Amino acid sequence: MSLKKGLAIAVGIGVGIPMALSVSIVFAATSDDSGGSGGGTVSSGGKLRVGDEYVPAQYAGLIEKAAAACDQGLSSGVLAAQIQQESSFNPNAQSKDESGNPIADGISQFIPSTWATAGVDGNGDGKKDVWDPEDAIPAQGEMMCKLLKTAKKHPGYNGSPIELALAGYNAGWKWVDYYKGVPPERFAKGQTYHYVKNIIASAAKFEVLESASGSLSSDGWTLPVDGPLGTPYHQKGSSWASGYHTGVDFVVPTGTPVKAAGPGVVYSAGWAGSYGNQVIIRHDDGMYSQYAHLAKTPSVKAGQKVSGGQQIGVSGATGNVTGPHLHFEIRTGPAYGTDISPIPYLRKRGITV
């Protein structure tokens, strides 16, 4: 919903707090960490897309810069999806409680107490202005980056790092600690639970516009390996730290050639703990593909340009596995926890799977 400054809306006191919440619950939930909402990637034309909706061009660059400033793998998509949920990209948005008292301000919907400690002078004009997107969006990015860093220190919590960070941004990290994960639906009448769920879903819809039609190029794109699909995306289970599968598996024997799904630049290549030997490639739309559990050290190096279909390694069973296969992810950022459903993305690239 697009909020207008001065419009009385019966919401709670924090970012994204829904109408049904009482003020007392929301104050407790948002006294230490609050923020905005959104998700996607920035195109070379300075626009973001979700379905048929576009992010105003003047904000796309700010979102991209805020995400790039974070060393934790924060995606511009998540930031955009947060803002979309908080204010529908309205810099004059202001939410109010049932009595008409202002609660949160600006495009990223900061409550005053949070802005006092987390606000930044993003444009260097000597003023930290919550109503100025050039200040609010960088502040949102910094807060999300810090929360993401904290989230990665708790691999046993219920939720991926980005989900935990979103929950902390919305409800306050103390509630994430209390529930050891994303607060359940019973908390605050489901506000934080659905806030996280909705943003993650929206982030997967954002895509780069590479042409006037907004279609993604299929030139050079292919399946990463010749073999049948195995474990699907987001299958739940105790085998994964997040509680669910963050990619898709291709069931192939050790030694099967693994190919770059599309043209791009190798972001990293080498040992990655539970992922074993892996390669991560950044593509022309700012998205990343990951190839894990390779049998041996990858045949490509960071910074190397690769073409779609080029062999980058061979499948194996290194890292945390129960047998040989290729684990494949599509991510909005290079880091764990920024995954989106890979099959729809591949299909947008013209791949039949």
Q: Which residues are catalytically annotated?
A: 86
d(CA 33, CA 23): 16
Cβ atoms of 145 and 71 within 8 Å: the answer is yes
Cβ atoms of 9 and 3 within 8 Å: the answer is yes
d(CA 289, CA 306): 12
Query: How far from 338 is each of 138, 203, 285, 330, CA to CA, in Å?
Result: 19, 9, 15, 8
For 105, the token pair is 């301000």
Cβ atoms of 234 and 247 within 8 Å: the answer is no
Which has the closest alpha carbon to 30: 104, 80, 87?
104
Three-class secondary structure of residue 201 per DSSP? helix
d(CA 341, CA 353): 13
d(CA 97, CA 12): 6
Contacts of 331 (CB under 8 A, 6+ apart): 75, 280, 287, 288, 289, 290, 338, 339, 340
Residue whose entry in the numeric block shows the structure tokens 């802005």:
115
Helices marked H in 152-204: 161-171, 173-179, 191-203
- Bridge partners (DSSP) listed for residue 96: 10, 102
